[in-house]
Structure formats: structure tokens, C-alpha cells
Structure 1
Amino acid sequence: MTDENDAPDAGDDGEPIDILLVEDNPGDVRLTREAFKEGRIENNLHVATDGVEALSFVRQEGEYADAPRPDLVLLDLNLPRKNGDEVLAELKSDDDLKCIPVVVLTSSKAEEDIVKSYEHHANAYLTKPIDPEAFIDTIRSFETFWFSVVRLPPNGDPQ
């Protein structure tokens, strides 16, 4: 058994973990950055503010040609241009991208949103707390679970 102090502080290859946060609310972006900055896991947090930008980033298209392939995507549902449901469905239907874990992080507690997210193969569904301290606690719990307990798929081209 691994002692908590022996938990990795980066990916298995010693590199920081690349996280794509897809979020259009600047306040939530700021709180997420703050939570990850104070966390134990070394990471690179990239931000896309709408669904079209998120897909371009993940597909490494256009201005994102040199973007790293994310180890994990944190996805809001309520986004401009292309909503989170559409982004999730496209990611999970693409053979080259479907192994990237996608965690829905949204303010919606609606049962239909939860069901639809899992039908589109979300790896988890988290509801954003309204209170900023509770929000930061949620992100820290997420970080501990996803980067210290869960084994992420290898990053890179699946060829």
C-alpha cells in the first residue's frame, strides 16, 4: 500500500498533468486555478472558454496545433457556440480522443443533465458548489482522487 506522502505529484512519466478546463465563467476559472495552484499535484491548466475552442484544442487544430494532448478534461455544460453535451458526445465518439477522461463540472443538478452526461460516456459528474470555499474544496477532492488514486490512460498518440 502506498503512503499518502508517496503519492505521485505528476504523471507517471514525471511530467506535469495537462488539464483542459472548458469554462466560460471567469470567476470559476479563477477559483479552479487557485485550487490547483494550492494543490499537491503538478499540473498545467489550460482553459477553453467555449465548446468550439475546446474541440480545436483537443484535436490540436489551428492555433492549437502545438497544444498538448490533455490528460483529462473538466467540462462545463453551459457553454457558448457548442454546449458541453455536444463537446462530450464528439469527444467520446472519436476513436482518437475517447480515452481522454472527461469530468463534467457544472452548476446543473438536473437529473436529465446527469443522465445525458453519462449516456455520452462522461467519466464523472460533479456539481459546482455556489460557495467559493466549497468550490475550492470540491476541486481539491477531485484532484486527490483523479491524480493520486486513479490511473490515467497514457498520454500521446494511440498508434
Structure 2
Amino acid sequence: MNIHAGLLAAHLGGRWLGVLIEGDSGSGKSDLALRALDHGFRLVADDRVDLWVCDGTLYGRAPTALAGLIEVRGVGICREPALPFCRIALAVRCAQHERMPEPAFNNYVGLSIPALSLPALECSAPAKMLRALQHLGAWTEGAYQDAHVAGAAPRPGGDSR
């Protein structure tokens, strides 16, 4: 399956974990990708991503013609060191988000992965993507929400109820 998205990866826990970046034209996908590359992410695919499933895990890569290339608006098509493929662990939609969103998931090729909405042009968006990848285990089990509701986790802003 081929989708219109970008794919970046971060090296966490000894493996590369990918983030699909989706959004409407002009939503900031390319800008977010460039800033994430400057924050240690690696390019896998820009603009188009080939998806497949192997042993119950979702993977992605660039179509052959686009491998190692990224479009930089105002500059042109640029070469960028890229990974040949990676496991996909998170989907990011370039859009406004809620302050404390409920866990969300997107389905690709019959598999469900955690999903997050981010305003792509916020300075903190690459850092938020990395934090989301680092905390996926808590998200998939609802651990943060369960602890927050039970009063065990401090509330945003510092008070502990």
C-alpha cells in the first residue's frame, strides 16, 4: 500500500522507530520533517510511503524513485541520508490538538498504531514527536490516563490535587 505521508525514524532502545507524518497540503509536514531531522530523526521517506506488514508489525520505506530525497520548499529537491526502511510505531497528523487528548489509533494495512495530532509549526513539535515515541508503552495501555484519573500523577501546572 502506498500513502501520501512522510516517514521519519528515531533510534530508541536499540532500534529505529518510525513516525508517519500526515496532513493536508500546506499543514507543515515538510517543515516539521526538516526540524525533526535537525533534532536527531532520520529520513526514511518524503511525500510517499510504501507500507507493508511482516509478522504483525507495520513497516514503511520510500518508493525507489524517491529514496534519499526530500523536498525543501523554496530550495528544491535535496539529497538526505536515509534509512532504507523502519518499523512504524506512531502516526502524527499535522493539525490542532487537545491539551490532554484521549488515546487515538490509526489503521494501516489492517494494523492499528497510536496516533497523535500536532500543530506542525509549533517549535516544540519535533520534541513532542520524540516524547510520544518514548512513551508509547504507556499510551497503548492507557497508563498515563489511568494514573492521572486516580490522582497518582501530578496535574499539568504542578498541583497534585
- The structure where strand makes up a greater share of residues is 2
Q: Given the two structures, how large is their TM-score scaled by the length of structure 1?
A: 0.40
Higher helix share: 1
Tell which structure's C-alpha radius of gyration is larger.
Answer: 2
The TM-score, its normalising length taken from structure 2, stands at: 0.39
